[in-house]
Amino acid sequence: MCLPFRSSSIKDWKTRLSYFLQNSSNSTKMKSKKVGKHRTYFRPSPEEAQLWSEAFDELLANKYGLAAFRAFLKSEFCEENIEFWLACEDFKKTKSPQKLTSKAKKIYNDFIEKEAPKEINIDFQTKNMIAQNIQEATHNCFSAAQKRVYSLMENNSYPRFLESEFYQELCKKTPITRAAQGT
């Protein structure tokens, strides 16, 4: 469960966001070179940031938006939700059956089992179903849990993110000063 957001200064947000962008840039740069997959590497325009409020998927599909949302979840002490969701997205892309099994066990150990270091909040039946499913891992063995976590983020964390000071700051248009105009 996420704790309520504590008001942080814009400087704190920028520090957190910079950290997430730096740490995620190495893993996403290779993926972003694929044709048709445009990723944002710089601060988005206010118009681009405003698109994130139209749909949760818009936020998750944008590198900067995802990093900002991760920083926000970290400030609410519930970053395990987005980390689990991202681990599941990566898991579903795995082709090798051996890697599928090892990744399934890692996800289970990190997020699902009781007292896991990043334990997510899901019901007992779903946990048991996953424990059985990972014995013969398939791409769908975490689907129910991933849908629950996605729904939790979309309905709880995402609306709070959209109300956050940091997001509101991203959506503000910066006024053009005379110095910026070159006069």
Domains and CATH numbers, the chain: 9-171 (1.10.167.10)
pLDDT tens, residue by residue, 86-99: 999 999 999 999 99
Q: How far apart are CA 161 and CA 39, in angstroms?
A: 21
Whether 63 contacts 41, CB under 8 Å: yes
Of the candidates 25, 19, 14, which has an alpha carbon nearest to the alpha carbon of residue 63?
Answer: 25
pTM tops 0.85: no
Q: What gap in Å lies between CA 64 and CA 83, rounded to an integer?
A: 16
Residue 18 has pLDDT above 80, yes or no: no
Per-residue pLDDT tens over the stretch 129-158: 999 999 899 999 999 999 999 999 999 999
CB 129 within 8 Å of CB 144: yes
d(CA 156, CA 1): 10
Structure tokens at 39: 């990723």
Other beta carbons within 10 Å of 157: 21
